[in-house]
Amino acid sequence: MSTAWRIGVDSRRCIGTSICAGTAPEHFHLVGDRSAPLADVVAPADVILDAADSCPVEAITVRDAADERLIAPQD
Amino acid sequence: MTESAQTTGSRVVPPARQYPFSVPDRLVVDPTYGELRDNEPMTRVKLPYGEEAWLASRYEDVRTVLGDVRFGRAPAVQRDEPRLTARQQDSGMLTLDPPDHTRLRRLVAKAFTARRVEALRPRTQEIADGLVDDMVRLGPPADLVEHVATPLPIQVICELLGVPYADRDLFHTWSEAIVSTTSLPMETIQEYLNNLWGYIGDLVSVRRREPGIDDLLAALVRARDENQDRLSETELVELAGGLLAAGHETTVTQIPNFVYVLLQNPDQLARLRADPSLVPAAVEELLRYVPLGVGSSFARYAKEDVEVGGVLVRAGEPVLGSLSSANRDGTVFADPDRLDLGREQNPHLGFGHGVHHCVGAQLARMELQVAVATLVTRLPGLRLAVPEAELKWKRGMLVRGLLGMPVAW
């Protein structure tokens, strides 16, 4: 079981819809017209997976902070 | 500000204008929007139904209204929301805010990501080629709406959802209820919606009886059956029906709109023909340029006092954001009323913005790219087969578009 996740937002893919910031405002915010995580390494929370899975351009990745295993998005 | 403007606290509330500002004329953006962006970026409007609202017309303000978490859609169901239709929507993703909205959106969003949609491109191209082959065989003049624009998105969404394409005439008729304002009587709208929900309900039952079926509808049924809290039976049916109806109505309408605009701009069409690698940028520019909506709908309600465009919007007040106006904002788009298929920066709001950004945007984008590329490259002589003045436009619908488009090539 992961004890920490690393959130990544690919700013080249991000189109700034703010779906993530609306879904998980405690983890994402818009900087200018692009999303960014408020903190890169965070405690696991389902709402982060909701945000990653809801991104239309799959700009958000969630990885296990210890071993870089991809947690979201998944098929 | 006019003389009759009222001052309420620290702000001036102008008298409401009737909205939409004019009867829709083809794909012309009413010049009132430009005047408002320059002089009165937040104005008051009264739609045919519901309470008065603010209307934001500048790009940045529209983004704030649609994207800022201080605004929400959920309060609308408790209110007489400003709208173009007699019927008020009381369920569905567009009546929810996070986290309720997230629960539904996440279930469908995974099927519509860029990666999933890209996998559908070869099949979409195959369908488009087949439709153009059939139309060419039939010979000119032929109706582009009937032969290409309507069947292409319907067949793609049918295959994705798992809806029998053979039933297309039925649900295409019923789908008009989703985008109708006055084109259908109220009773007919309700009857069509009931038919659509009943039809989807039957397909849901089939998936429960036959667990081997693998399509988006089956995935939604599984999501519902694995965890009843995630999705109610009504939500399941309305979500799937909404994807079927709202999804194809919009793309069906935009394909002829795009072709119409390209034919009106022969220099741009020639540019596209000379360099088909411009297709993705061209589709983005057409999404910006074409005012699909007759007027703004789905007002966002302020959850607290928010300053937008120099106006203090009070908690509980509804604000509409005009996508068509935002997309013509000269502070964001240079020479905004000119169609420029090579536009490099194009952060248009054609699919909206914020948590309700069109869930099918990537699918629509891919379908539009395939449709435009196929028509432009395979029919180099594509042209209207009737004088422009004889084209018939939709009336009494939320969207603007052609009822038919006789073309030759």
Q: Is the pLDDT of residue B111 over 50?
A: yes
Tokens read off for A14: 């991000």
Q: Does residue A20 form part of some domain?
A: yes
| Among B26-30, B180-184, B244-248, B337-341, the least confident range | B244-248
For residues B11-20, average pLDDT: 91
Domains of chain A: total? 1
**A70 belongs to a structural domain:** no
Taking an 8 Å cut-off on Cβ atoms, the answer to whether A53 and B106 are in contact is yes
Contact B67 A30 (CB under 8 A): yes
- Residues in chain B with CB shorter than 8 Å from the CB of A47 are 99, 102
Distance CA(B261)–CA(B385), nearest Å, equals 15
Q: What is the pLDDT of residue A15?
A: 85
B113 touches chain A (CB under 8 A): yes
Provide the 10 A C-beta neighbour count for residue B348: 21
- In this prediction, residues B160-171 reach a mean pLDDT of 94
Confidence check: pLDDT of B10 > 70: no
Q: How far is B241 from B66, CA to CA, in rounded Å?
A: 25
Percent of chain B past pLDDT 70, that is, above it, reads: 98
Q: Do A56 and B361 touch (CB under 8 A)?
A: yes
Is residue B247 scored above 80 in pLDDT? no
> What is the torsional sign of CA B404, B297, B104, B229?
negative
**For residue A1, what pLDDT is reported?**
63
**For B322, which DSSP code?**
-
Q: What pLDDT, on a 0 to 100 scale, did the predictor assign at position B91?
A: 87
Tell me phi and psi for residue B163, to 5 degrees: -100, 130
**Is B354 near chain A, with CB under 8 Å?**
yes
Is a pLDDT exceeding 90 seen at residue A55?
no
Cβ contact, residue pair B109, A16, below 8 Å: no
Structure tokens at B122: 């070869």
Residues on chain A touching B114 (C-beta within 8 angstroms):
56-58
In a domain, A73, yes or no: no
Q: Give the separation between CA B183 and CA B253, rounded to whole angstroms.
A: 15
Give yes or no for residue B3 having a pLDDT over 70: no
Closest CA to B129 of B364, B373, B408, B365: B373
Cβ(A3)–Cβ(A66) under 8 Å?
yes
pLDDT at B338 over 70: yes
pLDDT the model gives residue B126: 98
The domain that contains A45 carries what CATH number? 3.30.70.20
pLDDT at B6: 54
Whether A59 is covered by a domain: the verdict is yes
DSSP-assigned letters across all residues of B65-133: HHH-TTEESGGGGGTT--BSSSS---SSGGG--TTHHHHHHHHHHGGGSHHHHHTTHHHHHHHHHHHHH
Question: CB of B23 within 8 A of CB of B291?
Answer: no
B77-88 pLDDT, tens digit each: 999 999 999 989
Q: Is A70 left (phi over 0), alpha (psi -120 to 50) or beta?
A: beta
pLDDT of amino acid B8: 52
In a domain, A36, yes or no: yes
Q: Is the pLDDT of residue B403 over 50?
A: yes
- The answer to whether B156 and B168 have CB atoms below 8 angstroms apart is no
Strands (DSSP E) contained in B246-378 are 300-302, 306-308, 311-313, 318-321
Domain membership of residue A69 (yes or no) is: no
Is residue A56 assigned to a domain?
yes
Q: Please state the rounded mean pLDDT for residues B392-409.
A: 96
Q: What pLDDT is recorded for position A2?
A: 77
Whether B1 has a pLDDT exceeding 70, the answer reads no
**Is the predicted pLDDT of residue B159 greater than 60, yes or no?**
yes
CA triplet A30, A20, B118: central angle to 5 degrees?
110
Contact list in A for residue B109 (CB cut-off 8 A) is 53-56
DSSP string, B211-234: TT--SHHHHHHHHHHH-TTT--HH
Look-up of token digits 């173009």:
B84
Q: How far apart are CA B271 and CA B342, in angstroms?
A: 9
Q: Per-residue pLDDT for B9 more than 70?
A: no
- Considering the domain boundaries, does residue A57 fall inside one? yes
pLDDT at A43 over 80: yes
What mean pLDDT value characterizes chain B? 93
Domain that holds residue A24: 5-63
- Residue range B11-26: average pLDDT? 92
**Helices and strands in chain B, H and E counts:** 15, 13
Write out the H or E segment, with its range, that includes residue B44: strand B42-46
Q: Are A54 and B106 spatial neighbours (Cβ–Cβ below 8 Å)?
A: yes
Query: For residue B71, how many C-alpha atoms fall within 13 Å in the half-sphere facing its CB?
Result: 27
Q: Are B400 and B184 in contact (CB under 8 A)?
A: no
Report the alpha-carbon distance of residue B346 to residue B328 in Å, rounded.
11
φ, ψ dihedrals at B220, nearest 5°: -70, -40
The verdict on a CB contact (< 8 Å) between B110 and A22 is no
User: pTM value?
Assistant: 0.92
